[in-house]
Amino acid sequence: MPGWLMLAMVLVVAGAGFWLGQRRAAGFVAELGTRVGVVHSRPNHHGWFVAAAAFVPALVVIIVWAMVGDRVVGAAVEAELPPGTVPEGSLERVAFLADVKGVARGTFAAGFNPATEAAAAIWRAVEGRYSLLAGVAAVALALMGALWALTRLAPDFRARTRVEGLVMAVLILASTVAILTTLGIVISLVFESFRFFQLVPVTEFLFGTQWSPQIAMRADQIGQSGAFGAVPLFWGTIFIGAIIAMIVAVPLGLMTAIYLTQYAAPGFRAVAKPMLEVLAGVPTVVYGFFAALTVAPLVRDLGLWLASWFPLLDPDTVTAQSALAAGLVMGIMIIPFISSMADDALTAVPRAMRDGSLAMGATTSETIARVLVPAALPGIVGGVLLAVSRAIGETMIVVMAAGLAANLTLNPFDSVTTVTVQIVKLLTGDQEFDSPKTLSAFALGLALFLVTLMLNIYALSVVKRYREAYE
Amino acid sequence: MSVDMVNVAGREADAGRRPPKMTARDVHVWYGETHAIKGVSMDISMDDVTAFIGPSGCGKSTFLRCLNRMNDTIDGCRVEGRIELDGHDIHAPSMDVVQLRARVGMVFQKPNPFPKSIYENVAYGPRIHGLARSRADLDNVVEQSLRRSGLWDEVKDRLSASGTALSGGQQQRLCIARAIAVDPEVILMDEPASALDPIATAKIEELIDELRGRYAIVIVTHNMQQAARVSQKTAFFHLGSLVEYGNTRDIFTNPREVRTKDYITGRYG
């Protein structure tokens, strides 16, 4: 019996339970009247209670079957086959059983191993037997649940409270998913990083200035020493995300917000704000090729032109993949983020402040510079910190425009690399999970995660404290 | 001697009744389609405290905000009619709204000190208008303004504390100090005591009485006793019209209009 059929049958039972429960409760109301307190819960609550009692236990059975079913069937098939049909090795055994399952269900035309044909017939029979058992169990449990619930119904039965409790349980479950996922991510990062730090000392990772993760595959290979000093990566990340991007985004975003909140006519604001939000919705890969194909060549030409005037700038360091190109485009990407945070902060300053200043004879720009921006500053700073944490975690633009060379340089025309770029580079393609090269990606990820986490926590606390000041 | 004190001496030398400081003639205000003020005419004297009374939504605050063109800051608000300050049309192109508001100060219903120090709050106006030539000059203006608003003794030891940390009544007197620091000629007060407790209210009322004669003061109030206590002239607004305007004593003891009498005796409003 396929899973969808089990689910459908259980739903039918639950639906019938709902109807019966509701009918039964409607009977109480007809008998005892509608006065408050005589019949504790509304008929719908009784209905939902019965439906839930039928559905929830049966659903558990269906989910468990979906998770362990294949393994149970596999083991049973193996037991029924003549000894020696299933290969010995663990990998071969799994592959054989997968083949058998595929052939049995018709997703594979034919198995790799001719023995699968015979085994598939057995699989079909066994699976039919076991799934029927599971289906019957689920439906029986649903029926029992519904009957049990129906016997509980009485005029003073508190179905309403039970249903409320169930709703709460579902909501708690839903909100736990995100939290547990975060926890899982952290644990996996910490675990793999720990393995990395067993191979490479923490001090080398945090303070080393040489990054070259290539590891020799043969003993006599040269130039593949493997150095894991992440400082050039951290610097590249900060240089692009926290310096160049912010030099672009903070003034532009702030001025945009000031114009939109203080000067713009309501009609213009109504058009301009959604347009900015559209900018925030552009996929970062689009920014990425804009950076790589349009901005980067312009920046390179500018760099070469500057190099012809200033001997200090070595033309050899002007590359097509530059920190400046990636930082500029990332700054553009961040503008809507900063402007919307600053917009919120400025609008949160009470109108009374603005009126008070204007009534003193201050002009609009004096009011903004002397009253509104200082009052909104914590909110604006919090917004900028959130933007920084977003920028340093941004991947696509830097992958496409910043390059891979781990240079420790102040020259914006030179290419630098970032933590995110290196993670992408280390984890795409074939990897072996016992080499420090692959594991270093997790250490980088952990470092990035910790920094952005702390930035976010600090920024949110700044924003929150500021909000409270104006309650 | 500061500029401010010369002016004061000049004003006090003028003993008799002076010509009206501000005059309004046939003023109309629209908020979008709503006709909020319907042809109000009035003279505001330097020698009196003028109280605006009337039920909520009668237009008294709106009219008050016309006098320093604060209605300009509201989208969709349109003002018609002629308002003069010392005989000059305040809507004329030659009248700069920045200077108008420096001459016609305002105190709001809810105390709104800036989130800056007490000193910086009072120094705000003198700074933006360049009224003080030196730091000592500015210190002097700040002290004078705080003294005049009766706050000096309470805050002289903590001028660098935040203005928002003061009590509600102190905040409101700080706002009055801030307004008089630019030495305005008219002070508009929009229900200045409605958010304060009775003791703070009494202090504000005393202060208004002390400031009388030095500035033309207009006060909007919901509190009939307050109007009777602090003002010499009273204007009663109803549904956007000026129903009655005259000496406070006459309005409260012998109103000409039935609507005024009904409002004052508490029939409605």
Residue B257 maps to which CATH number?
3.40.50.300
Residue B237, pLDDT score = 94
| Cβ contact, residue pair B73, A469, below 8 Å | no
Q: Tell me, what's the pLDDT at B15? A: 53
Highest mean pLDDT among A83-92, A292-301, B5-14: A292-301
Closest chain B C-alpha to A288 CA, distance in angstroms: 41
Average pLDDT over residues B138-153: 92
Task: State which residues form the domain around B165.
Answer: 19-264
Residues of B in contact with A361 (CB under 8 A): 98-102, 125, 128-129, 182
Q: Indicate yes or no: CB of B129 within 8 angstroms of CB of A361.
A: yes
On whether residue B3 sits in a domain, the answer given is no
B85 and chain A in contact, CB less than 8 A: no
Can you say whether the dihedral through the CA atoms of B144, B147, B151, B157 is positive or negative? Answer: positive
Residue of B31, B92, B75 lying closest to A263 (CA atoms): B75
B101 CB within 8 Å of a chain A CB: yes
Number of Cβ pairs < 8 A linking chain A and chain B: 64
Q: Which are the contacts of A155, defined by CB distance < 8 A and separation ≥ 6?
A: A28, A32, A38, A39, A40
| CB nearest to B124's CB, from A265, A360, A363 | A360
Q: Which residues of chain A does B114 touch, with a Cβ-Cβ cutoff of 8 Å?
A: 353, 356-357, 371, 375
Q: Is residue B5 very low, low, confident or very high in pLDDT (cuts 50, 70, 90)?
A: very low
Q: What is the pLDDT of residue A171?
A: 95
B-interface mutation test, from A349, A360, A380, A466, most B Cβ less than 10 A away: A360
Determine, for residues A361 and B128 on separate chains, whether the beta-carbon distance falls below 8 Å: yes
| Whole-angstrom distance, CA of residue A57 vs CA of residue A50 | 12
Say whether pLDDT at B2 is over 60: no
Is A361 in contact with B100 (Cβ distance < 8 A)? yes
Q: How confident is the model at residue A123 (pLDDT cuts 50, 70, 90)?
A: confident
Cβ contact A358–B179 (<8 Å): no
**Per-residue pLDDT tens digits for B213-242:** 899 999 999 888 899 999 999 999 999 999
Closest-CA distance of chain B to residue A386, Å: 24
B1 is a domain residue: no
Element (DSSP H or E) covering residue B41 = strand B34-44
CA-based nearest distance A358→chain B, Å: 8
Helices (H), A210-295: 231-237, 245-258, 266-281, 284-290
Any A CB within 8 A of B194 CB: no
Instruction: Give the pLDDT confidence score for residue A111 in this predicted structure.
Output: 66
ipTM at complex level: 0.85
Q: Is A375 on the interface with B (CB under 8 A)?
A: yes
Q: Which residues of A touch B128 (CB under 8 A)?
A: 360-362, 366, 370
Cβ contact A352–B108 (<8 Å): yes
User: Could you give the percent of chain B with pLDDT greater than 70?
Assistant: 93
Choosing among B61, B64, B72, B112, which should be mutated to test the A contact, i.e. which has the most A CBs within 10 A?
B112
Residue B13 lies in a domain: no
pLDDT, tens only, A80-118: 877 777 777 777 788 888 888 888 887 777 766 777 777
Q: What value does the mean pLDDT take over residues A274-289?
A: 88
Q: Residue B268: its pLDDT value, please?
A: 67
Q: Does B110 touch chain A (CB under 8 A)?
A: yes
Mean pLDDT of all residues in B242-253: 93
**Residue B67 falls inside a structural domain:** yes
Percent of chain B with pLDDT over 90: 68
The pLDDT of residue A45 is above 70 = yes
Cβ of residue B178 closer than 8 Å to a chain A Cβ: yes
User: CB-based contact (8 Å) between A365 and chain B?
Assistant: no
Predicted confidence band of residue B14 (pLDDT cuts 50, 70, 90): very low
Q: Which of B99, B108, B113 sits opposite A361 (nearest CB)?
A: B99
State how far the alpha carbon of A112 is from the alpha carbons of A78, A98, A121, A130, B108, in Å.
17, 11, 16, 26, 86
User: In angstroms, rounded to a whole number, what is the distance separating the alpha carbons of residues A194 and A283?
Assistant: 34
Question: If you average pLDDT over every residue of chain A, what do you get?
Answer: 87
Tens digits of per-residue pLDDT, A193-244?
999 998 888 888 999 888 888 765 555 655 556 788 889 999 999 999 999 9
Average pLDDT value for residue range A11-33: 90
Range from A96-105, A136-145, A153-162, A372-381 carrying the lowest mean pLDDT: A96-105
Is the CATH number of domain A211-469 1.10.3720.10?
Answer: yes
Range of lowest pLDDT (A60-74, B77-91, B135-149): A60-74
Least Cα distance to A371 among A381, A359, A384 occurs for: A359
Cβ neighbours for A429, distance < 8 A, ≥ 6 positions apart? none
**Long-range CB contacts for residues B165-168, cutoff 8 Å, separation at least 24:** B166/B113, B166/B118, B167/B200, B168/B111, B168/B195, B168/B196, B168/B197, B168/B200
Answer whether A128 touches B (CB < 8 Å).
Answer: no
Condensed to tens digits (0 to 9), the pLDDT of residues B150-196 reads 899 999 999 999 998 899 999 999 999 999 999 999 999 999 988 88
Picking from A302-316, A364-378, B87-101, B114-128, which range would have the lowest pLDDT averaged per residue? Answer: A302-316
Checking if the pLDDT of B11 tops 50, the result is: no
Total structural domains in chain B?
1
